[in-house]
Structure 1
Amino acid sequence: MDEYSKALSSYERSLEIRKIALPPNHPDLATSYNNIGIVYDNMGEYSKALSSYQRSLEIRKIALPVNHSDLATSYNNIGMVYDNMDEYSKALSSLERSLEIRKIALPLNHPDLGTSYNNIGVVYSHLGEYSKALSSYERSLEIRKIAFPLNHPLLATSYNNIGMVYDNMGEYSKALSSLERSLEIRKIALPLNHPDLATSYNNIASVYSHMGEYSKALSSYERSLEIRKIALSPNHPDLATSYNNIGMVYDNMGEYSKALSSLERSLEIQKIALPLNHPLLATSFNNIGMVYDNMGEYSKALSSLERSLEIRKIALPVNHSDLATSYNNIGMVYHNMGEYSKALSSLERSLEIRKIALAPNRPDFATSYNNIGMVYSHMGEYSKALSSLERSLEIFKTALPPNHALWATSYNNVASVYYHMGEYSKALSLLERSLEIRKIALPPNHPLLATSYNNIGMVYANMGGYSKALSFYERSLEILRKSVPSSHPYLVCVKKNIENLRNKF
Structure 2
Amino acid sequence: MSKYSSNLNSNETDENNENIQLIWLDNSNCPTHIQSKLVELNLTIQFSIDLNQCITLIQSIKDKQIILIVSMTLAQTILSQIHSYPLLISVFIFCSNINEQQKIKLMNEYKKILQIYSDYNLLIKSIEQIINIIEQQILSFNLFNQNKDFTNDLSKDSASFLWYQLLIDILKQIPVNEQINNHIFETSKKFYKNEINQFKKDYIKEKSIQLFNEKYFIRRILNQILRTKNIQLIYLFQYIIIDLYDQIQLEKQKYQNKQILKLYDGQKLLKTQLDQLNQYIGYYITPNGFLSVSFNRNNSIALAKSEILSDEYQSILFQFEINPTYQEITFVEIHENQELIFNIDTVFKINSIEYDSSLQLWKINLINDHTYRNKFQTYFQSIKNFRNENSFLIFFGHLFTELDQLQQSEIYFDILLNSLPSDHEDIASIYNQIGNFLADKGQLKLALEKYQHAYQIRQKKLPNNHPHIAISLNNIGLIYKDEGNFDEALDYCQKALIIDEINYPKDHVLKAMTIENIGGIYKEKHLLPKAQSYFLRALNMYKCVLPRNHHFLTDILNSLGKVYCDQGYYDRALTCYQKAFSISEINYRNDHLQKAQTIENIGLLYKTNGMLKKSLEELLKALEMYKRIYSNEHYDIARCFGHIGLVYEASNDLNSALNFFNKQLNMDEKSLSNDHKNIQIDIQWIIDIYKKKGQLEKAFEFCQKKYQEKKTLLGEKHPMTLSIFMTMIDLYDDPNVKINYYKQVLSLYENLIPPDPYGTIKCLDIMIHFYIKSNAIQEALNYQIKMVDLQRQLLTNDHINLALSLQKLGQLYENLSKTNEAEKCYKESRIIFEKYENNHNNIESSHMNYSSNSNLNHHEQESNFTKSRICVLL
TM-score over 0.5 for the pair: yes
User: After superposition, where does 1:225-264 map in structure 2 within 5 Å?
Assistant: 225-264=539-578
1:143 aligned partner, one-letter code = I
| Contact 1:428 1:456 survives alignment (8 Å) | no
Give the deviation of 1:190 after TM superposition.
3.1
User: After superposition, where does 1:91-490 map in structure 2 within 5 Å?
Assistant: 95-103=413-421, 108-190=422-504, 192-382=506-696, 385=699, 388=703, 394=722, 402-404=756-758, 432=784, 482-483=835-836, 485=838, 488=841
Give the aligned partner of residue 155 of structure 2: 4
1:300 aligned partner, one-letter code = K
TM-score scaled to structure 1, two decimals?
0.72
| Contact 1:202 1:220 survives alignment (8 Å) | yes
Distance 2:417 2:160 in 1: 32
Local SS of the residue matching 1:193: coil
Give the aligned partner of residue 240 of structure 2: 62
2:414 aligned partner, one-letter code = E
| Contact 1:111 1:147 survives alignment (8 Å) | no
Do the aligned partners of residues 362 and 102 (structure 1) sit closer, same or farther apart at CA in structure 2, a change above 3 Å counting? same
- Gap regions ≥5 residues in structure 1: 16-21, 26-46, 495-505
Give the deviation of 1:369 after TM superposition.
1.2
Do the aligned partners of residues 84 and 134 (structure 1) sit closer, same or farther apart at CA in structure 2, a change above 3 Å counting? farther
Give the deviation of 1:400 after TM superposition.
10
Do the aligned partners of residues 194 and 342 (structure 1) sit closer, same or farther apart at CA in structure 2, a change above 3 Å counting? same
Do the aligned partners of residues 11 and 247 (structure 1) sit closer, same or farther apart at CA in structure 2, a change above 3 Å counting? same
User: After superposition, where does 1:64-103 map in structure 2 within 5 Å?
Assistant: 95-103=413-421
Give the deviation of 1:139 after TM superposition.
1.4
Local SS of the residue matching 1:309: helix
Distance 1:280 1:188 in 2: 32
Structure 1 stretch 109-118 or stretch 350-359: which is displaced more? 109-118
1:358-394 deviation line (CA, Å, top 9, x unaligned) = 1111111111112222223333344555674995673
Local SS of the residue matching 1:488: helix
| Contact 1:254 1:489 survives alignment (8 Å) | no
Distance 1:118 1:311 in 2: 30
Do the aligned partners of residues 219 and 78 (structure 1) sit closer, same or farther apart at CA in structure 2, a change above 3 Å counting? closer
User: After superposition, where does 1:40-59 map in structure 2 within 5 Å?
Assistant: 51=229, 53=231, 56-57=234-235, 59=237
- Gap regions ≥5 residues in structure 2: 1-142, 146-153, 167-207, 213-224, 244-390, 708-719, 725-748, 848-874
Give the aligned partner of residue 362 of structure 2: none
Do the aligned partners of residues 460 and 149 (structure 1) sit closer, same or farther apart at CA in structure 2, a change above 3 Å counting? closer
TM-score scaled to structure 2, two decimals?
0.44
2:424 aligned partner, one-letter code = H
Distance 1:452 1:248 in 2: 26
Do the aligned partners of residues 153 and 371 (structure 1) sit closer, same or farther apart at CA in structure 2, a change above 3 Å counting? same
Local SS of the residue matching 2:538: helix
Distance 2:402 2:474 in 1: 21
Distance 1:131 1:151 in 2: 26
| Contact 1:71 1:98 survives alignment (8 Å) | no
Identity %: 23
Local SS of the residue matching 2:589: coil
1:332 aligned partner, one-letter code = L
Structure 1 stretch 389-398 or stretch 132-141: which is displaced more? 389-398
| Contact 2:394 2:426 survives alignment (8 Å) | no
Do the aligned partners of residues 272 and 133 (structure 1) sit closer, same or farther apart at CA in structure 2, a change above 3 Å counting? same
| Contact 2:528 2:839 survives alignment (8 Å) | no
Do the aligned partners of residues 49 and 360 (structure 1) sit closer, same or farther apart at CA in structure 2, a change above 3 Å counting? farther
Do the aligned partners of residues 293 and 408 (structure 1) sit closer, same or farther apart at CA in structure 2, a change above 3 Å counting? farther
Structure 1 stretch 392-401 or stretch 245-254: which is displaced more? 392-401
Give the deviation of 1:138 after TM superposition.
1.6
Distance 1:333 1:385 in 2: 21
| Contact 1:110 1:147 survives alignment (8 Å) | no
Give the deviation of 1:401 after TM superposition.
6.4
Local SS of the residue matching 2:638: helix
Do the aligned partners of residues 97 and 486 (structure 1) sit closer, same or farther apart at CA in structure 2, a change above 3 Å counting? closer
1:148-179 deviation line (CA, Å, top 9, x unaligned) = 33322222111111111111122222212211
Distance 1:414 1:75 in 2: 53
| Contact 2:226 2:234 survives alignment (8 Å) | no
Distance 1:84 1:167 in 2: 27
1:215-250 deviation line (CA, Å, top 9, x unaligned) = 211111111111101001111111111111111112
1:96 aligned partner, one-letter code = D
Distance 1:430 1:286 in 2: 44
Distance 1:185 1:431 in 2: 43
Give the deviation of 1:131 after TM superposition.
2.9
Local SS of the residue matching 2:420: helix
| Contact 1:156 1:185 survives alignment (8 Å) | yes
1:60 aligned partner, one-letter code = Q
| Contact 1:327 1:350 survives alignment (8 Å) | yes
Structure 1 stretch 481-490 or stretch 210-219: which is displaced more? 481-490
Give the aligned partner of residue 94 of structure 2: none
Do the aligned partners of residues 394 and 111 (structure 1) sit closer, same or farther apart at CA in structure 2, a change above 3 Å counting? farther
Local SS of the residue matching 1:111: coil
Which of the two has greater strand per residue? 2
Distance 2:795 2:659 in 1: 34
Do the aligned partners of residues 439 and 373 (structure 1) sit closer, same or farther apart at CA in structure 2, a change above 3 Å counting? farther
Give the deviation of 1:408 after TM superposition.
5.2
Between structure 1 and structure 2, the one with the greater Rg is 2
Q: How many residues align?
A: 451
2:756 aligned partner, one-letter code = P
Distance 2:813 2:611 in 1: 33
| Contact 1:211 1:442 survives alignment (8 Å) | no
Which of the two has greater helix per residue? 1
Give the aligned partner of residue 29 of structure 1: none
Distance 1:12 1:124 in 2: 24
Local SS of the residue matching 2:463: coil
Structure 1 stretch 145-154 or stretch 427-436: which is displaced more? 427-436
Give the deviation of 1:321 after TM superposition.
0.9
Distance 2:510 2:472 in 1: 13
1:250-291 deviation line (CA, Å, top 9, x unaligned) = 222232222222122211211112233101111111112222
